[in-house]
Amino acid sequence: MEPEVPEAPKIVHLPTPEPLKAIYMTSWVAGTPYLRNRLIKLIDDTELNAIVIDIKDYSGRIVFPVKDPELIKTGAVEVRISDIESLITELHAKGIYVIGRVSAFQDAYFVKLHPELAVHRQSDNGVWKDRKGISWLEVGATPAWDHLVRIAKESYALGFDEINFDYIRFPSDGDMKDISYQYFDKKVETRAEVLKRFYSYLWLELKPLGIPISADLFGLTTSSLDDLGIGQVLVEAAPYFDYIAPMVYPSHFASGYIGLAKPATKPYEVVKDSMTKASARLLAASSTPAKLRPWLQDFDLGATYTAEMVRAQIQATYDSGLTSWMLWDPSNRYTPAALLP
C-alpha cells in the first residue's frame, strides 16, 4: 500500500469588507516580524480591517517564493517575505483582508531582462530613466502584460484576496523631450487607448478566476478632463476594475487647486472636492461611485500631518458619499490617534 500524500492546504479568500479601511506595508516590513507585528497590532486595536502589501515594487523583484516555472525562469524572485503563506493565514485568522500591490510598468528588473520592452531615449536609443533613475516598461509592450498577469495569478493562488495595480501609466517625471516608444504611435492611438487595452486584458485574464482587481490612479484624474499626459482617464478605467483608488494626497496638488494657496494644509477641502467630483463623473458614465476608495495621506509633505489632518481626510471621504479608504505612508509609520478604536 502506497503512503497517502497529504493534500495541500486549501486557500480561503476573505470577501472584500464594506467598508474597507486599509494601510500600506512594504515588502521589507512584511518580511521583518517585529516591524510587521507593530502594524498588525495597529489593525487589531483600531477600525482598520485590511492591509496592502507589496508583491512587486518599482525594483521589479517578486518578493516571495513562487511556483510558476515561467516566473522562476525570469530570476525576478528576491525573497523578502519568506513566510508569505503563513503570514496571510495569520492575517486571515484575524479577519484582515489582504491586498497585494503590483507596480506595473515601473520595473527596473524586467527592463534589464528585456530591454527591448523598455521606454527608450530618442537621442541614443538607450534605456530611458526617470528623475529617480528608474526605468520603465512600455505600456503597449504586451509581453510585459503576460508577466504581470502571471504574478497576479500566482499571488491570488497563494492567498492574497485582491490584486492592486499601481504605476499603470506612461512615465511623466524625467526628460520627456528625449523619450521614444516602440509600442506606441500617437498617430494610431492615444495613450488612453493603449491603457484601455491593458485594462481590458487584465479583466479578461483575471475576472474569470474570480480575482478582485483594483487600480491606483493619479489624484488629478478625479477632476481633469484629459489624460494628464500619462494615459489615465478615470471613467475609462472604471469599467475594468472592481475598485478604483485615486491617490488624492493633498500635498500632490499644485497651488491654486480649487483656489487654495497651499492644498497640503487643507486636507479636508482637497479630498472632499476630489472625491465628490470623482463620484459625479462615475455616475455620469453609468458606473458606480461605490468602487471608489481613495488613498489618503499619512506622511509629512507640504505640511506636518497631524492626527486631525489625517482624520479630516477620512471625514471628507464620508462627506463625499463614500465609505472606504486606504492610508499611505511610505515609511509605514501611521498615526494611531487618527483612527477610531
Task: Please state the rounded mean pLDDT for residues 170-199.
Answer: 93
Q: Mean pLDDT of all residues in the chain? A: 94
Cell of 230: 500619462
- pLDDT tens-place string over residues 60-115: 999 999 999 999 999 999 999 999 999 999 999 999 999 999 999 999 999 999 99
Give 10's pLDDT tier (boundaries 50, 70, 90). Answer: confident
Give 222's pLDDT tier (boundaries 50, 70, 90). Answer: very high
C-alpha dist (Å) from residue 190 to 108, 140, 221, 232, 310 = 25, 11, 16, 11, 37
3-state DSSP assignment of residue 323: coil
Cell of 146: 503576460
Give the number of other Cβ atoms within 10 Å of residue 153's Cβ: 17
C-alpha dist (Å) from residue 234 to 42, 200, 240, 283 = 32, 14, 11, 12
Give 4's pLDDT tier (boundaries 50, 70, 90). Answer: low
- pLDDT tens-place string over residues 21-46: 999 999 999 999 999 999 999 999 99
Residues in the chain: 341
Residue 315 has pLDDT above 80, yes or no: yes
Task: Please state the rounded mean pLDDT for residues 215-238.
Answer: 95
Q: What is the pTM of this model?
A: 0.93
Task: Report the alpha-carbon distance of residue 183 to residue 147 in Å, rounded.
Answer: 16
Give the number of other Cβ atoms within 10 Å of residue 47's Cβ: 11
Question: Which pLDDT score, from 0 to 100, does residue 194 have?
Answer: 96
Which residues, 6+ apart, have CB-to-CB distance to 34 below 8 Å? none
Single-letter residue type at 299: F
Question: Which pLDDT score, from 0 to 100, does residue 9 have?
Answer: 60
CA angle 39, 148, 130 (to 5 degrees): 80
Percent of the chain beyond pLDDT 90? 94
Give 174's pLDDT tier (boundaries 50, 70, 90). Answer: confident
Residue 3 has pLDDT above 90, yes or no: no
Percent of the chain beyond pLDDT 70? 97
Q: Is 139 in contact with 182 (CB distance < 8 Å)?
A: no
